[in-house]
Structure 1
Amino acid sequence: MMKGNLAEGLALVLTFLHIAYSIELPGQHLELGTCLLVLIPGPLHVEDKASNMGCDNSKEVCDASSKSTCEFVHRQFSEAFSTEPMVQLIYREQINQGWLLSSLSKHLNSEDNCSLVIYPKPIKDRTCLLSPQHTIADPTIIQLSTSISNHLAVVNQVCNTFRNVNGGLDRQGLHRDYIRDSLFSVESMGKYVNAEEAFKKGATLDILPKCEKVAITSWQEFFIEYLQHSKPVVITNAIQNWNVSHWTNDYLMEKYGNKSVHIKLSPTRDYEGIEAAELWETFESFEIPRQVYEQLEHPDLVVPRPAPTNMKFSEYIYLMQNISTGKIKNVSAYLEYSSIRQYFPELEEDISEMSFVESYLKLKHLNIWLSDGNTVGKLHFDPFDNFLCMIDGRKELLLFEPHDNQQLYEAHIPEAEFSVSLNGYHFRRNKLLESTSMVMSPIDIHKPDFQRFPKFKQAKPLNCTIEEGEVLFMPAFWWHEVQSYPSLTKNRNLAVNYWYEPYLSREFPCQSCKLDVNPYYNFLL
């Protein structure tokens, strides 16, 4: 049979095979909510389009061995995935979806015998509201034999499942279920305070539960006690051997003074945060596409981004010092999440990754943070596992767990960006952006609007303040607000952080999406 006629033959298979399961397939691959397994007996010949695939018609060309293999695999896979919600298995099903027939004819050869076509679950692109896309991988195709264990391993890998031939979970699957069922919560500490109580007028942070502070020396301890439970912890012994005492302003200026760096300028100490869109000069004339506007939960709010600018590193140090001493007012400057490897590569020789994770976690970014020590990073989350290392000053981090993101009102929020005149540091709110933030909360935790955001009342804050020489492990997706304070002797706040591929991950922005083991780390199960 020529490949051009394969779709017709496949249509015969799918039309005339009797229905084994009552499964309604979506009209498009993009709408699949699961991994799809399509079991195809073969080979087929287009001249047999009147046949019923029972191998009892003399006009049929039917490979009995292939049919028997397919039926055996079908029975085995039906049992293996009988209770797996993330997999649909189709063998004898009436299907008329054009996308499936088109895909099968594209990827199967006309002479293929019993084949299993595995379509991974499409990944929804949540980043774009204007024309959301899905990431679709080509299907994986297996030429089947009776070696079920090998085929099952492939399906488990493609579908991110952990089933054995008896339909139960294998060892990795049991571990994954344990992890998803045993995530750390602030409530489990016994002492906790709801946000309504924590942020009422006159309340102090002393009433909040605090992060545990421990010395950690082994991967086993870190993984078992903290990483797999998504549990924040302050580590007291992780950077004691760092050679950073000579990182003075003078040393850094001498070494990198002529280096151009990217900094952020803000009219207040707040970085990002939330404010009313109507405060911006172009509010009346700025138009949000209707398709986007209808999907925004907070179209009247914006995330005000600080004004970006580039200057020599020495100029930044002088600016930071003048802000610290009060010589320059009405401006805050921040060298934030700046890549050490891009801007200050030699500094990496003086520091090192946490010895207990460097062989296991995948490093994505290594950053330096330097300011006068009077900045606030407003409430947000990062999609990375974070080791925040305090060198000078301290940081007061208020954390909220990522298990009920309705309480933090996670959503797309329109962005804006300050402009600034460097001659006098005059700021204007004149740049509304055609982009949205996906990681900011619309809540001002120190002035919460409980009438507008009533679910925030039940959120439970955790105080994870770190001092010089301490490291905060903050698991991915934990909401946090960061108040920095300067060193009393150096009048600055200096930190380094390592961002890793998250061990537990989820889609975002998505209020209902739950943490799950990142498939990249399945080897750790």
Structure 2
Amino acid sequence: MTLSPLKPPPRPRPAALLDLSPDWLTWVADNRLWNCSPDSMRDSMVAAGLDPALSQAALDQIEHDPVFLAARRHQQMLRKLECVVANQQQLWENDAGYDVIEKRRGVSRDEFVERYVRGCRPVVLTDVAEDWPAMRRWSPADLRERFGHMEVDVQVGRDKDARFEQNKEQLRRRMKVAEFVDLVVNGGATNDHYLTANDEMLRRPEFLPLLQDIGSMPPICDPALLPNAASMWFGPGGTRTPLHHDTLMLFHTQILGRKRWRFVSPMQTPLLYNRMAVYSPIDLDAPDYARYPLLRQARVLEITLEPGDTLFLPLGWWHQVASLELSMSFSYTNIAADIPNDFDYQNPTIGNW
């Protein structure tokens, strides 16, 4: 049997590329994949102290590097996917009512599933909480009176950490409910302390009376699943939740105070620089278009939830939330078993890129 001759090994990378540090080599590849011009990149490299000839040679050579060429192929497939979702977004935006988040009453189950679950549209239901004892009872004073002696885990020190949500475990602090109520009531508007869903206090039997203050559910919810699918949010005006998306669908009922929600469609994920888990580094309240120029293309929707409003957050919608005053709210994910609400996301772990 005659063996085919082996292919020769690929040529080693040219010296110019090998002379770059790994960080600089990554920088060059990243910026070319972002389609930055070689001239501007060379100027940046020289300004940072690199040799001009080495910089130019590295920029010339990387265009023929086999590893970089493989990255270009994957880039083409990514760009196709970005086009697919951008085209779908264009069709969504063709709806004259796209910018308006509806407020509805009396929505049937069939319509809700078709228009909002499968249609992936946020909506506010104004009639869900009308019979809730919580709407008449819940207040800082009531929380203190009934549960003041119990302990909860809250986030404290958020103002000192720009990534307070990503680092929430490090900011966790256990305290008596009464102590936290006093902190909220007397501390004024701030983002520094917040009782969030991360505490999972409603999974504990001693807080069961709070669930007994919940009445009717939205048409696609199963009340029997509520004890393992509910969360409470309580904090002063000024608390913020940074731009992120959840990995399932949920409802959020405003009990006390008002919250402003801002949304971006999941189809516009490529515009939000999602480099770590489910978070975007963008602040929709103070957009930095110089650093994040693609954000200019994003369509931002907004609504303010009033007490008694129930928001449906469909799958994948990016949202940023701000409490306009002292706020209590209740979120829940007890969607009936015949509607899927368990989804997988391959989240990035790039970090500060």
1:440 to 271, 275, 279: 279
Q: Matched residue of 2:269: which SS? A: coil
Using the TM superposition, give the Cα deviation of residue 216 of structure 1 relative to its aligned residue in structure 2, in angstroms: 3.2
Q: What are the residue-to-residue correspondences of 1:234-249 with 2, within 5 Å?
A: 234-244=124-134, 245-249=136-140
1:336 to 181, 190, 196: 196
Q: Matched residue of 2:263: which SS? A: strand
Using the TM superposition, give the Cα deviation of residue 403 of structure 1 relative to its aligned residue in structure 2, in angstroms: 1.6
Distance 1:362 1:254, change over 3 A: closer
Instruction: Give TM-score, length-normalised by structure 2.
Output: 0.64
CA deviations 1:304-356 (Å, max 9, x no partner) are: 547210001111111111212x8xxx872111114323262111111035241
Verify the 8 A CA contact 1:476 1:505 in the aligned structure 2.
no
Verify the 8 A CA contact 2:126 2:308 in the aligned structure 1.
yes
Verify the 8 A CA contact 1:186 1:461 in the aligned structure 2.
no
Tell me if 1:380 matches 2:244. Answer: yes
Q: What are the residue-to-residue correspondences of 1:199-238 with 2, within 5 Å?
A: 209-238=99-128
CA distance in structure 2 between the aligned counterparts of 1:400 and 1:506, rounded to whole angstroms: 20
Distance 1:451 1:372, change over 3 A: closer
* Amino acid paired to 1:268: D
Which structure has more RCO (C-alpha within 8 Å, separation ≥ 6)? 2
* Amino acid paired to 2:159: T
Using the TM superposition, give the Cα deviation of residue 499 of structure 1 relative to its aligned residue in structure 2, in angstroms: 2.3
CA distance in structure 1 between the aligned counterparts of 2:284 and 2:191, rounded to whole angstroms: 23
Q: What runs of 5+ residues in structure 2 fail to find an aligned partner?
A: 1-86
CA distance in structure 2 between the aligned counterparts of 1:378 and 1:214, rounded to whole angstroms: 27
Q: Which residue of 1 aligns with 2:328?
A: 494
CA distance in structure 2 between the aligned counterparts of 1:183 and 1:451, rounded to whole angstroms: 24
Q: Which residue of 2 aligns with 1:188?
A: 94
Q: What runs of 5+ residues in structure 1 fail to find an aligned partner?
A: 1-180, 193-208, 275-302, 413-437, 487-491, 512-525
CA distance in structure 2 between the aligned counterparts of 1:450 and 1:485, rounded to whole angstroms: 25
* Amino acid paired to 2:105: A
Q: Which residue of 1 aligns with 2:220?
A: 357
Using the TM superposition, give the Cα deviation of residue 377 of structure 1 relative to its aligned residue in structure 2, in angstroms: 0.7
Using the TM superposition, give the Cα deviation of residue 439 of structure 1 relative to its aligned residue in structure 2, in angstroms: 1.1
Aligned length: 253
Q: Matched residue of 1:469: which SS? A: coil
Verify the 8 A CA contact 1:242 1:350 in the aligned structure 2.
yes
Using the TM superposition, give the Cα deviation of residue 451 of structure 1 relative to its aligned residue in structure 2, in angstroms: 3.5
CA distance in structure 1 between the aligned counterparts of 2:196 and 2:254, rounded to whole angstroms: 14
Q: Matched residue of 2:288: which SS? A: coil
CA deviations 1:43-77 (Å, max 9, x no partner) are: xxxxxxxxxxxxxxxxxxxxxxxxxxxxxxxxxxx
RMSD: 3.1
Instruction: Give TM-score, length-normalised by structure 1.
Output: 0.44
Q: What are the residue-to-residue correspondences of 1:240-259 with 2, within 5 Å?
A: 240-244=130-134, 245-259=136-150
Verify the 8 A CA contact 1:272 1:377 in the aligned structure 2.
no
* Amino acid paired to 2:211: E
Distance 1:260 1:224, change over 3 A: same
CA distance in structure 1 between the aligned counterparts of 2:300 and 2:252, rounded to whole angstroms: 19
When Rg is computed on C-alpha atoms for both structures, the one with the higher figure is 1
Instruction: Report which of the two has the higher share of helix.
Output: 2
Distance 1:452 1:241, change over 3 A: same
CA deviations 1:342-397 (Å, max 9, x no partner) are: 26211111103524112499766200101112211110111121101001111110
Q: What are the residue-to-residue correspondences of 1:508-519 with 2, within 5 Å?
A: 508-509=346-347
Q: What are the residue-to-residue correspondences of 1:5-24 with 2, within 5 Å?
A: none
Which deviates more from structure 2 when the two are superposed, residues 501-510 or residues 438-447? 501-510
